[in-house]
């Protein structure tokens, strides 16, 4: 008997989240999962197993602030699934961090790893804090205590953190050191995205943006679009968006618009991305005042008549309120969850190809896997080898998802979910349920 969703079982958590089209991000993930499960005629027990997080950790993190005052933060680590291997996922620091968000991100990591055939399960972590108002010393104490509280959760064969929003290579170095102090040995493979000098991988910083570029070109090939002079708008000029813009420009695309927290910037003749990167770096990583383009709003950027739109900023950017105004032929999701379920339906009716987040931004976890492998073997690869293997894995994943979507006459997002869920369900069937 195929599954029938128990709406009560999948709606346990009701904390508010910044989702305009949906109750919370976990439910948005479940919506897509349900469609794929129907296509696969997933067994009800398998459905319940695969939709339910394996473990949820919530921890209080007391930190002695620079003033001497003790402040207690809330930290999360959700292990969604570890059927295919150790769980893998980033840690973010933000005031917006909440349990539904972390649960959704952990689940997306499960499907993301499966889509690109990386032998990891999915996890995600976060701390509810405002890192912009904290000193380096406070952030270090927060990170070390968070790590210490979860010392039995993390491990190179159990759960492997990585950087995410407002965390970086330095954050990973603190986690590595704290874990190693407890383990009484240096354990480089406990985190990825760490500094090169501590066992990080060449190409890791650029990997997510490179994956966006690779899948965008693959989508253009399938639609018969010519790469030279194709127009691109990139929302978000952080690590993912800036790298994606630069790499697509190097391929011959014309980047006509970019944006960051200061607003959007448009130049119909093309933006010089090298100059934009140099300006941003000199201006405190902000494009405010950049004179190589005219200022536009975020809504205007999303509505530009371009070949490719790459939302590489935050969740919930393309919704039922603005999906009708999107004119791009292809949307490549560099961010996690930038398109809501209601917007998906509108874009499908309008014939827009959406290359979903669990495929398009999987370059990061793919090179994280490469980093873990290199740490375990104690031998490190050249940048050319990293990029060559990344491009090959991303292209294979795109072709597989495209074929599955074509077979079932569904969108690439649902095709990606069908592809990923089937891989995890098949592994679960082979392993069986321990009783």
**Average pLDDT of the residues in 31-52:** 95
**Average pLDDT of the residues in 84-107:** 95
Lowest mean pLDDT, pick from 5-19, 37-51, 277-291: 5-19
Q: Collapsing DSSP states into helix, strand and coil, what is residue 24?
A: coil
Contacts of 163 (CB under 8 A, 6+ apart): 90, 91, 169, 171, 172, 193
| DSSP string over 392-422 | HHHHHHHHHHHHHHHHHT--HHHHHHHHHHH
What residues does each domain of the chain span?
A: 9-187+195-200, 205-355
- Neighbouring CB atoms inside 10 A of 359's CB total 29
Measured CA to CA, the distance from residue 401 to residue 63 in angstroms comes to 45
pLDDT tens digits, 309-366? 999 998 889 999 999 999 999 999 999 889 999 999 999 999 999 999 999 999 999 9
The pLDDT-based confidence of 278 (bands split at 50, 70, 90) is very high
Report the CATH number of the 9-187+195-200 domain: 3.40.50.10860
Strand extents, DSSP E, 129-274: 159-163, 231-235, 254-260, 263-266
| pLDDT over 80 at 147, yes or no | yes
Measured CA to CA, the distance from residue 396 to residue 50 in angstroms comes to 24
pLDDT tens digits, 370-407? 999 999 999 999 999 999 999 999 999 999 999 999 99
Measured CA to CA, the distance from residue 27 to residue 381 in angstroms comes to 40
Torsion sign across C-alpha atoms 328, 333, 339, 345: positive
Contact 194, 173 (CB under 8 A): yes
Q: Collapsing DSSP states into helix, strand and coil, what is residue 310?
A: strand
Measured CA to CA, the distance from residue 355 to residue 216 in angstroms comes to 8
Joined tokens for residue 149: 């509280």
pLDDT tens digits, 58-74? 999 999 999 999 999 99
- Given 3-state DSSP classes, what are the helix, strand and coil percentages for the chain, each rounded to the nearest 5? 45, 15, 35
Measured CA to CA, the distance from residue 150 to residue 79 in angstroms comes to 12
Pick the CATH number of 205-355 from 3.40.50.300, 3.10.20.740, 3.30.70.2190, 3.40.50.720: 3.40.50.720
| pLDDT over 70 at 12, yes or no | no
pLDDT tens digits, 171-206? 999 999 999 999 999 999 999 999 999 999 999 999
What pLDDT does residue 1 have?
45
Torsion sign across C-alpha atoms 339, 341, 344, 346: negative
Q: Collapsing DSSP states into helix, strand and coil, what is residue 200?
A: coil
**Average pLDDT of the residues in 290-309:** 96
Distance of CA 47 to the CA centre of its chain: 23
Distance of CA 219 to the CA centre of its chain: 19
Residue 66 Cα distances to 24, 135, 173, 405, angstroms: 35, 8, 21, 54
Measured CA to CA, the distance from residue 149 to residue 86 in angstroms comes to 19
Dihedral angle over CA of 256, 279, 291, 212, nearest 10: 10
Torsion sign across C-alpha atoms 315, 77, 120, 424: negative
Contact 189, 165 (CB under 8 A): no
What pLDDT does residue 29 have?
87
**Average pLDDT of the residues in 38-43:** 96
**Catalytic residue list contains 124:** yes
**Average pLDDT of the residues in 149-156:** 98
| pLDDT over 80 at 139, yes or no | yes
What pLDDT does residue 26 have?
85
The pLDDT-based confidence of 21 (bands split at 50, 70, 90) is low
Catalytic residue among 103, 112, 124, 254: 124
Joined tokens for residue 103: 């649960």
Q: Do domains 9-187+195-200 and 205-355 have the same CATH topology?
A: yes
Mean of the per-residue pLDDT values for the chain? 93
| DSSP string over 11-23 | G------S-SSSS
Measured CA to CA, the distance from residue 276 to residue 242 in angstroms comes to 9
pLDDT tens digits, 250-272? 999 999 999 998 999 999 999 99
| pLDDT over 60 at 2, yes or no | no
């Amino acid at each position: 008997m195929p599954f029938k969703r128990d709406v009560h079982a999948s709606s346990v958590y009701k904390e508010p989240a910044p989702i305009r089209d949906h109750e919370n991000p976990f439910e948005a993930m479940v919506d897509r999962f349900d469609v794929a499960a129907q296509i696969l005629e997933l067994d009800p027990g398998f459905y319940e197993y695969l939709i339910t997080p394996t473990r949820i950790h919530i921890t209080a993190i007391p930190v002695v602030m620079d003033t001497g005052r003790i402040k207690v933060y809330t930290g999360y680590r959700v292990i969604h699934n570890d059927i295919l291997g150790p769980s893998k996922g980033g840690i973010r620091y933000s005031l917006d961090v909440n349990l539904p968000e972390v649960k959704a991100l952990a689940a997306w990591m499960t499907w993301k790893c499966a889509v690109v055939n990386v032998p990891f399960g999915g996890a995600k972590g976060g701390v509810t804090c405002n890192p912009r108002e904290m000193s380096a010393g406070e952030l270090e104490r927060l990170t070390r205590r968070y790590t210490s509280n979860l010392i039995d959760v993390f491990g190179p064969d159990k759960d492997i953190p990585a950087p995410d929003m407002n965390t970086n290579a330095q954050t990973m170095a603190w986690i590595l050191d704290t874990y190693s102090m407890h383990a009484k040995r240096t354990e480089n493979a406990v985190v990825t995205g760490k500094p090169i000098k501590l066992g990080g991988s060449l190409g890791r910083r650029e990997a997510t943006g490179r994956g966006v570029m690779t899948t965008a070109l693959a989508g253009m090939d399938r639609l018969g679009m010519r790469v030279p002079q194709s127009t691109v708008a990139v929302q978000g000029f952080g690590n993912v968006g800036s790298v994606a813009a630069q790499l697509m420009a190097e391929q011959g695309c014309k980047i006509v618009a970019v944006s960051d927290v200061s607003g959007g910037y448009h130049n119909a003749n093309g933006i010089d991305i090298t100059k934009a990167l140099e300006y941003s770096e000199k201006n405190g990583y902000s494009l405010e005042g950049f004179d190589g383009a005219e200022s536009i709003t975020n809504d205007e950027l999303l509505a530009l008549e371009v070949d490719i739109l790459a939302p590489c900023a935050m969740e919930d950017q393309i919704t039922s309120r603005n999906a009708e105004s999107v004119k791009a032929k292809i949307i490549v999701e560099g961010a996690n969850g930038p398109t809501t379920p209601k917007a998906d339906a509108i874009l499908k009716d309008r014939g827009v190809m959406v290359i979903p987040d669990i495929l398009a931004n999987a370059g990061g976890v793919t090179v994280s896997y490469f980093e873990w492998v290199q740490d375990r073997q104690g031998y490190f690869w050249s940048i050319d080898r990293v990029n060559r293997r990344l491009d090959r894995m991303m292209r294979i994943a795109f072709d597989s998802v495209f074929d599955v979507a074509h077979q079932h006459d569904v969108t690439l997002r649902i095709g990606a979910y069908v592809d990923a869920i089937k891989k995890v369900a098949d592994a679960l069937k082979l392993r069986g349920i321990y009783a």
